[in-house]
Amino acid sequence: MPVIESSQGPIWRLRNRNETLKRWFGWLFGVAIFLWCWQQISDATTWFFVWDAPNIAGDILGRATPPRWSYMDNLWWPIWDTLNIATLGTIGALILAVPIAFLAARNTTPSTLFIRPIALLIIVATRSINSLIWALLLIAIIGPGVFAGIIAIAIRSIGFCAKLLYEAIEEIDQSQVEAVTATGASRWQVMVYGIVPQIMPAFAGIAVFRWDINIRESTVLGLVGAGGIGLQLQASLNTLAWPQVSLILLVILAAVVISEWVSAKVRGAII
């Protein structure tokens, strides 16, 4: 701890002068960057609209209440579609994620030099692009509809599931694997009896966790045309039917809360 000698004796300091200066300039630099970014946003904003926002928000709220409950009849089928997109997408993602996870885990990959980087690249690439962008892309390729939504959710979830799963595989207890190997088991038998039972709880937890996230994501996929309740939301927004919008938002909120509750219950039972 640095000390400054003065006439009244030594004064204790947390940092010496160079470190203090370095930190000070670091903060100055950070604040300057933030202010510059704020300037950019401010320039691109029509401030009159922002000051007027409370009125507009009050106006929209007034139009949106009460929700048009009778519209609920048109929503059951989209809700079923949304559930299908999330569930089938999760199943598809898991089927693809399991082999990728085994190829990416250090202790099970056949080749650290060639195959592991490819598996890791797939994980990063699928994870870093949002499901809405995957949906846009798939709609351009295979046309709008529920099917595009399922594939978009599946691709997007591969990276997430495979990443968590390969971390679980890398953390397994090696002695169990050794014990199974010592009985003369083949490579596949070691996997089935030595590795799979150890990662099964993690796998089930990841599946339910991702399903919960996918319910959230599939509710908005319809905004770009990939099926589900988002289609109704987009249609209602386009026609400025605010009572319908508020009903759909309530349904989405309920779906999110229910799926979170289910996922918490199931994970609680597993772990």
Question: Measured from the CB of residue 5, what is the shortest distance to another protein in angstroms?
Answer: 26
Question: Measured from the CB of residue 159, what is the shortest distance to another protein in angstroms?
Answer: 11
**28 lines the binding site for another protein (CB under 8 A):** no
**145 lines the binding site for another protein (CB under 8 A):** yes
Give the Cα separation of 107 and 187 in Å (integer).
Answer: 12
**25 lines the binding site for another protein (CB under 8 A):** no
Name which of 165, 167, 158 is nearest 131 in CA terms.
158
**53 lines the binding site for another protein (CB under 8 A):** yes
**172 lines the binding site for another protein (CB under 8 A):** no
Nearer to another protein, 60 or 191 (CB): 60
Query: Which pair of structure tokens corresponds to residue 230?
Result: 């988002």
- Return all residues near 30 (Cβ < 8 A) that are at least 6 apart: none
Q: Is 145 left (phi over 0), alpha (psi -120 to 50) or beta?
A: left
Nearer to another protein, 24 or 77 (CB): 77
- Which residues on neighbouring strands pair with residue 3, listed in sequence order? 12
Query: Which pair of structure tokens corresponds to residue 47?
Result: 């401030």
With contact defined as beta carbons under 8 Å apart, do 228 and 221 qualify? yes
Q: Applying CB under 8 A, which part among 6-14, 65-73, 106-114, 131-139 lies near another protein?
A: 131-139
Question: Measured from the CB of residue 86, what is the shortest distance to another protein in angstroms?
Answer: 11
**252 lines the binding site for another protein (CB under 8 A):** yes
Which contiguous run of DSSP H or E holds residue 51? helix 47-51
Give the Cα separation of 262 and 256 in Å (integer).
Answer: 10
Nearer to another protein, 127 or 267 (CB): 127
> Which x/- pattern, by CB under 8 A, does the window 30-49 give for another protein?
---xx--xx-xx--xxx--x
Name which of 21, 19, 15, 11 is nearest 1 in CA terms.
15
**DSSP letter assigned to residue 184:** T
Query: Residue numbers of the site for another protein (CB under 8 A)?
Result: 33-34, 37-38, 40-41, 44-46, 49-50, 53, 56-57, 60, 80-81, 84, 87-88, 124-125, 127-130, 132-133, 136-137, 140-143, 145-147, 150, 197, 200, 204, 216-217, 219-220, 223-224, 237, 249, 252-253, 256-257
